Amino acid sequence: MTVIKTKVDRRSFLKTSALAGGGLMIGFNWACSPSAEVKDPASAWFDINAYLTIANNGEITIMSPNPEIGQNVKTSMPMLVAEELDVDWKDVIVKQAPLDNAFPRQVAGGSQSIRSSWKSMRMAGATARRLMIETAAKEWAVDANRLTTKGGYVLNGSKKLSYGELASKAVGIEIPEEVTLKNPKEFNIIGKSQKNVDLDEITTGKPVFGIDYKQEGMQYAVVLRPPAFGAKLKSFDDTEARKVNGVNDVIQFGDKVAVLGNNTWAAMKGKKALVADWDMSGRLEDTPYHDSEMNKLLNKRVERPSRSDGDALKAMASADKVFEKTYEAPFLPHNTMEPMNFFADVTGDKVKLVGPIQTPAGTRGQIARLLGKSPDDITLEMTRMGGGFGRRLYGDFALEAAEISQKANKAVQVIFSREDDMTAGTYRPASKYKFRAAIKDGKLTGYHLSGAGIGRNNWVRPDWFPAGGIENYLIESSYVDSNITTGAWRAPITNFLAVAEQCFFDELAAEMGQDAVQLRLDILERAKNNPVGEIDYEPEKMIGVIKLAAEKGNWGKAESGVSKGFSAYYSHNTYVAEVADVIMKDGNPIVKNVTVAVDCGIVVNPDAAINQIQGGVVDGMGHALYGDFSFINGTPQASNFNNYRLIRTKEAPTVDVHFVESLNDPTGLGEPSLPPAGGALANAMAKATGNRLYKIPFVKDQMVFG
């Protein structure tokens, strides 16, 4: 047996924590089958560590520490604990943990929840299991190393004691400093599909999302914000707003005005009745300006390149041909199904926060600074989120709620309308990429990428593919300063960088008379066997997914009337390759199927993992097809779905997912299938139509999926 050992952080794992459900609780167990075991209701629950409690009837409550935004961590993270605890999943009750220092990295971002908690959550379960063994050994007066566990019981030959029987006696029991983790080959829960623990509540409309939260006496707050980025509030008249039935207060804070009402309807009507005078003399940016500035940057050498191997410019100068293409993408809003919202109750020295947030600790810190309070005086409870995609990394809406509550001296819930969400958002920045390739004697001898974007730096990933596989390699990045709020959007930066890069390699292969897949493999073989400089990816794994996708997607064996497009990308520690199948119908390209190969290490919850991959593909393709968002004089030109096109359910292709079998630790999964999706689509559409695509959106109003 392979043994993984690590030191136990006793302060964390032996912590008796009220947040884990300590104290007296009543539990219920409904048996649907006459043959199913019916447990007596729990009458007492015992804290084992910060992650879990055990009831006297053997039921287990496991806390899920990270925010849930649809990536299924509320199910998959407790599975890690349950696996090492060695209990039956049917006996597990999952609860969302509040923000607490006992848990490392309570963040939903970067597709890192499972990866960052893989060991700590397994250790929580393994430590508790060992505690049950030590307690049983004391009861039986035997050597603990003789005992085994199964299904929530400690076994000693024909004798057994349930965890429920042992939990009350576990206090004060010493456990070894080193605890053994299971060999992945022994897993019984990890690697088996488990139903989303909130599925029944979601499908029956029970309140689990932030927008559902209510507290007696709270006010709903709707905020009037500047109509353009760069505008400032000069003055406002709230006379008519205060006349609206149900409006109770109007409060200015900074350049914003909040209307407080008994319900959202009253607050929104009150906001519409406000009369505001805005100072529009500031810098009001528009899309033509952004385009012009990015074009200037693409044609200007930077002082310090992101990476430079060999001499790419010399290779260009001596090449038989320099192949050059430029790609561009617009700003994008996040358009989560659940608009931004947050609850705050600021009373005296205490602050209560409740809502959907991807960065609870960071948000609490911002609010503590805003209010001049200690973070220790602020509690933050996380709700399920109706989508995040990076927008809820930023706690601006939570700060608004806290400031309004403090000024009003009332509990408030800030609610965004869809128009608020789209026009006062944090956007994916617009960006452009220019690629140049030197071709000499039919070979690729040089590569030059220049990236430019709005409001953020680091527009390139210089140490990822094709780094290491090209002798002369130059990567440059620059940005345009902006007052438009920009930030992460699902798979930050790579969501378009991958599209541009993979389109370029596809067209480059055609220019060189090579197969698109083989060109990538040739570069990767060089990076694997004789890399140029340091690289931050594993070529062997990328080769693996490329070959798997090509095999499963019948690359090079297209059926009659089918055009295939290929794309592969590494991001969030995961390798993904995709083959898109496009047919023509009535003159329009239609994507019928996408084959996806993924290397993400151990797959914790297969059904949920497949859902993540499928969702990422559809999301990536939909935004590549239709995503369009622009500015005129600082004002967004789309405010709702009547003028912002999203992919529709009937347009979504089938998505076949294939995982590379692996016993490696899990890597990211929520984002990696999105970056290559647009490239596979564009490459297939180019073959189907004969037209190459260089600008997102690829189409606007036409329906292109069947």
pLDDT, tens digit, for every residue of 36-88? Answer: 456 788 889 999 999 999 999 999 999 999 999 999 999 999 999 999 999 99
Q: Is residue 622 part of a domain?
A: yes
pLDDT of residue 371: 97
Q: Is 178 exposed, middle or buried (0-12, 13-18, 19+ CB in 10 A)?
A: exposed
Backbone angles phi, psi at 309, to 5 degrees: -110, 135
pLDDT of residue 13: 36
Residue ending a domain, among 204, 233, 263, is 204
Average pLDDT over every residue of 403-427: 97
Residue among 380, 287, 291 at smallest CA distance from 342: 380
**Same structural domain for residues 411 and 474?**
no
In angstroms, the CA 676 to CA 696 distance is 14
Residue ending a domain, among 172, 204, 236, is 204
In angstroms, the CA 61 to CA 73 distance is 16
**Phi-psi domain of 389 (left: phi exceeds 0; alpha: psi -120 through 50; beta: other):** left
Residue among 355, 351, 386, 343 at smallest CA distance from 371: 351
pLDDT of residue 705: 52
84's tokens: 């090492």
pLDDT of residue 457: 81
**Same structural domain for residues 33 and 181?**
yes
In angstroms, the CA 494 to CA 489 distance is 10
pLDDT of residue 14: 36
Provide, rounded to the nearest whole percent, the portion of the chain with pLDDT above 90. 90
Backbone angles phi, psi at 503, to 5 degrees: -65, -40
CA angle 589, 594, 596 (to 5 degrees): 155
In angstroms, the CA 285 to CA 430 distance is 13
Prediction pTM value: 0.93
| 569-620 residue pLDDT tens | 999 999 999 999 999 998 889 999 999 999 999 999 999 999 999 999 999 9
In angstroms, the CA 688 to CA 588 distance is 9
pLDDT of residue 514: 98
pLDDT of residue 702: 56
Q: Is residue 703 part of a domain?
A: no
| CATH number, domain with residue 549 | 3.30.365.10
- Please report which confidence band the pLDDT of residue 27 belongs to, taking 50, 70 and 90 as the band edges: very low
| 198-245 residue pLDDT tens | 999 999 999 999 999 999 999 999 999 999 999 999 999 999 999 999
| 438-457 residue pLDDT tens | 999 999 999 999 999 999 88
**Same structural domain for residues 499 and 637?**
yes
* CA atoms within a 13 Å half-sphere pointing along the CA-CB vector of 321: 10
Average pLDDT over every residue of 609-633: 98
Residue 428 · residue 486 · CB < 8 Å:
yes
In angstroms, the CA 414 to CA 257 distance is 12
Average pLDDT over every residue of 237-254: 98
What average pLDDT is seen over the chain?
A: 93
**Same structural domain for residues 294 and 352?**
no
Domain extent for 395: 210-281+340-415
27's tokens: 């539990």
Domain count along the chain: 3
**Same structural domain for residues 619 and 494?**
yes
- Please report which confidence band the pLDDT of residue 669 belongs to, taking 50, 70 and 90 as the band edges: very high
Residue 30 · residue 90 · CB < 8 Å:
no
Task: Examine the pLDDT at 272 and tell me if it is beyond 50.
Answer: yes
**Residue with token string 């440059």:** 476
Residue ending a domain, among 182, 204, 226, is 204
**Same structural domain for residues 151 and 172?**
yes
Question: DSSP letters along 398-413, please?
Answer: HHHHHHHHHHHTS-EE
Q: Is residue 421 part of a domain?
A: no
Residue 450 · residue 427 · CB < 8 Å:
no
In angstroms, the CA 454 to CA 155 distance is 62
**Same structural domain for residues 648 and 681?**
yes
pLDDT of residue 38: 64
| 85-105 residue pLDDT tens | 999 999 999 999 999 999 999
| 126-181 residue pLDDT tens | 999 999 999 999 999 999 999 999 999 999 999 999 999 999 999 889 888 889 99
